[in-house]
Amino acid sequence: MWSTEPIAWNKIPQLANLLRTQRERLGLTPERVAQALKLPVGAYIRLEKAGLMPEEPTLRRACMLLGLDYASVMARMGNKADKATRS
């Protein structure tokens, strides 16, 4: 299932960079983040390399884990998230 608020494909590299940068800032490994998100490590690594479009629930969980506000991330990607559903 694709996100109900799809991110334009040309914004996926920007999203991937944001997730990777924040993970590194927190001192987490891709393996640890993948484990916490209950994803295969390869899938998470593809997400960070802009080779995978995350589903909305996965992106919400990743934002929460990495200390990012989902609505702010979506706004940076050119999408508006409902303020009532902020993570």
Q: What is the pLDDT of residues 20-41, one digit of tens each?
A: 999 999 999 999 999 999 999 9
pTM, two decimal places: 0.81
- Residue 4: pLDDT band with limits 50, 70, 90: very low
Residue 65 C-alpha from the chain's centroid: 10
Q: Which of 57, 56, 62, 83 is nearest to 18 (CA)?
A: 62
Give the C-alpha separation, 29 to 23, whole Å.
Answer: 7
CB neighbours of residue 81 within 10 Å: 20
Q: What is the pLDDT of residue 86?
A: 41
pLDDT of residue 83 exceeding 80, the answer is no
